[in-house]
């Protein structure tokens, strides 16, 4: 009898020990999974340009930048996260330009009115600079890079104080919309007069309404933890935006309309090479000042020699087109990129060759309205082609582009652009 009791006792102890080991292993497994989720979420935030804190995400875009007007621009900004609230958010930034010796800032916030359609109403007050001739889509996803290549060389900015209210709404997983009403006080930082009805405007007020649509018909989505997550980044993608400026509404000086369109298509080939096609077009009609017209994404410094112009190549910019060389009230650009499969020299050294061709065409009515700045139009086809060799060392590479066609310049060297590239992914 004692022997049987002894055997039962041994079995009980062994079973209990095994159960404890299984529990410990299971606990460790859960902890590892939780740590992995936290790490993935952290890297996702960093990749989107945020450093997460408990209730607040620090926006890395505002830490330090550089351009020709402000010099170094540094400050802090961010937005509250879901730990603060899933129904309300506050965002803003404060930066200082060391060359122009001026502060810029934004304060804003929003509240969600419908969770299923992810509908938000946002309010914002902004006092900052914007590049003259630039046009941004409201529905563009946040894009973060450690530095913005074109920004380094931009010198033509206008100041604006803008008060806005906007509504973000998801009609479906594939169709996003945003509508914005805004009033702005515009003051160019350069000498410029807009001549209209025998009156010169060196600064002006605008009241605008914008409607932006982003359609990704071939992207796939799934619901994960109650949230819609994109599982397939499908192509092509389409973005359309309409802007209307009203005269005499809240003191607005001009009336004009703008229609902007962009489509992006990507082909992934069996050999893991990719081909990207980007088509952008814009049309402005009415009394639009130069600040709200179009450049064609130039990225070449106005300096004499090719070595003096050596800088950073942009992601979707014309590398041989000089800053402030062209402006248009109607334009279109076509960019073709073919990226070959990376060359596997070693496990860490995998440079990649990219072939690029870019084309632009445009025009402008009433060019004599714009006084104080000289520029050309794009009546003839602007063409450039070249290549990039990316990720040679620490994410850096080299690029070369050549300008030809209707706007080929007499001096051969003036048609060339030799720059370095920077590509890194988290």
- Asked, for residue 31, whether it belongs to a domain, the answer is yes
Cα distance between residue 154 and residue 322, in whole Å: 10
Q: Are residues 7 and 130 in the same domain?
A: no
| Per-residue pLDDT at 116 | 87
Torsion sign, CA atoms 37, 43, 47, 52: positive
- Asked, for residue 84, whether it belongs to a domain, the answer is no
Cα distance between residue 77 and residue 58, in whole Å: 6
Of 337, 202, 188, 352, residue with least CA distance to 267: 337
Q: Are residues 159 and 236 in the same domain?
A: yes
**HSE-up (13 A, CA, CB side) for residue 15:** 6
Cα distance between residue 223 and residue 229, in whole Å: 6
Q: Residues 34-39: what's their mean pLDDT?
A: 53
Q: Residues 19-24: what's their mean pLDDT?
A: 46
Q: Are residues 253 and 139 in the same domain?
A: yes
The tokens 């509250």 sit on which residue? 80
Cα distance between residue 391 and residue 344, in whole Å: 12
Q: Are residues 122 and 238 in the same domain?
A: yes
Q: pLDDT (tens digit, 9 = 90+) per residue, 343-392?
A: 988 888 999 999 999 999 999 998 999 999 999 999 999 999 999 999 99
- Asked, for residue 71, whether it belongs to a domain, the answer is no
Cα distance between residue 263 and residue 332, in whole Å: 12
- Asked, for residue 403, whether it belongs to a domain, the answer is no
| Per-residue pLDDT at 126 | 98
Alpha carbon 381 to its chain centroid, in Å, reads 27
Q: pLDDT (tens digit, 9 = 90+) per residue, 302-315?
A: 888 888 888 889 88
Share of the chain above pLDDT 70, in %: 85
Q: Are residues 32 and 125 in the same domain?
A: no
How confident is residue 41, by pLDDT bands cut at 50, 70 and 90? Answer: low
How confident is residue 7, by pLDDT bands cut at 50, 70 and 90? Answer: very low
The total domain count for the chain is: 2
How confident is residue 18, by pLDDT bands cut at 50, 70 and 90? Answer: very low
The Cα-based distances of 298 to 60, 137, 150, 301, 326 in angstroms read 25, 18, 8, 9, 9
- Asked, for residue 231, whether it belongs to a domain, the answer is yes
- Asked, for residue 405, whether it belongs to a domain, the answer is no
In sequence order, which residues have a C-beta less than 8 Å from that of residue 214 and are 6 or more positions away?
137, 139, 140, 175, 176, 177, 237, 238, 239
- Asked, for residue 33, whether it belongs to a domain, the answer is yes
Q: Are residues 231 and 324 in the same domain?
A: yes
Q: Residues 194-216: what's their mean pLDDT?
A: 95
Whole-number average pLDDT of the chain: 87
Q: Are residues 149 and 255 in the same domain?
A: yes
- Asked, for residue 107, whether it belongs to a domain, the answer is no
SS3 at position 148: coil
Task: Report the range of poorest mean pLDDT among 58-72, 133-147, 229-243.
Answer: 133-147
Q: Are residues 22 and 128 in the same domain?
A: no
Higher pLDDT, 338 or 231: 338
Higher pLDDT, 17 or 95: 95
Q: Are residues 291 and 155 in the same domain?
A: yes
Phi-psi group of 297: left, alpha or beta (phi > 0 → left; psi -120 to 50 → alpha; rest → beta) = left
User: What range defines the domain where residue 215 resides?
Assistant: 115-333+367-376
Q: What angle do CA 206, 209, 212 make, to 5 degrees?
A: 135
């Amino acid at each position: 009898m004692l022997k049987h009791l002894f055997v039962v006792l041994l079995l009980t102890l062994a079973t209990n020990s095994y159960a404890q080991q299984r529990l410990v292993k299971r606990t460790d497994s859960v902890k590892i999974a939780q740590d992995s989720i936290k790490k993935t979420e952290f890297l996702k935030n960093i990749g989107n340009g945020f450093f997460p804190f408990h209730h607040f995400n620090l926006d890395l875009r505002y830490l330090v930048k550089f351009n020709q007007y402000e010099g170094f621009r540094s400050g802090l900004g961010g937005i509250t996260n879901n730990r603060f609230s899933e129904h309300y958010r506050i965002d803003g930034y404060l930066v200082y330009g060391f060359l122009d010796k001026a502060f810029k800032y934004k304060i804003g916030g929003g509240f969600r009115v419908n969770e299923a359609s992810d509908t938000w109403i946002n309010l914002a007050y902004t006092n900052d600079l914007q590049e003259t001739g630039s046009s941004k889509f409201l529905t563009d996803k946040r894009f973060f890079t450690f530095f913005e290549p074109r920004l380094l060389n931009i010198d033509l900015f206008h100041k604006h104080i803008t008060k806005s209210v906007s509504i973000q709404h998801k009609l479906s997983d594939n169709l996003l919309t945003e509508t914005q009403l805004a009033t702005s006080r515009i003051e160019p930082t350069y000498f410029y007069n807009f001549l209209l009805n025998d009156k010169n405007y060196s600064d002006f007020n605008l009241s605008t309404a914008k409607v932006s649509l982003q359609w990704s018909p071939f992207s796939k989505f799934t619901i994960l933890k109650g949230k819609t997550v994109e599982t397939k980044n499908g192509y092509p993608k389409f973005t359309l935006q309409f802007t209307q400026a009203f005269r005499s509404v809240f003191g607005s000086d001009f009336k004009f309309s703008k229609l902007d369109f962009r489509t992006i298509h990507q082909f992934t080939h069996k050999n893991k090479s990719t081909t990207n096609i980007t088509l952008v077009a814009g049309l402005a009609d009415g009394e639009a000042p130069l600040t709200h017209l179009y450049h064609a994404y130039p990225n070449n410094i106005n300096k004499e020699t090719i070595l003096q112009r050596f800088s950073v190549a942009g992601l979707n910019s014309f590398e041989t087109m000089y800053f402030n060389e062209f402006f248009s009230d109607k334009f279109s650009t076509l960019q073709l990129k073919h990226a070959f499969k990376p060359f596997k020299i070693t496990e860490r050294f995998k440079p990649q060759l990219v072939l690029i061709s870019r084309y632009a065409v445009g025009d402008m009515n009433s060019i004599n309205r714009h006084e104080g700045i000289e520029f050309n139009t794009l009546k003839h086809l602007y063409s450039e082609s070249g290549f990039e060799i990316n990720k040679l060392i620490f994410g850096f590479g080299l690029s070369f582009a050549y300008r030809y066609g209707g706007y080929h310049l007499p001096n051969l060297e003036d048609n060339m652009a030799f720059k370095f590239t920077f590509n890194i992914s988290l």
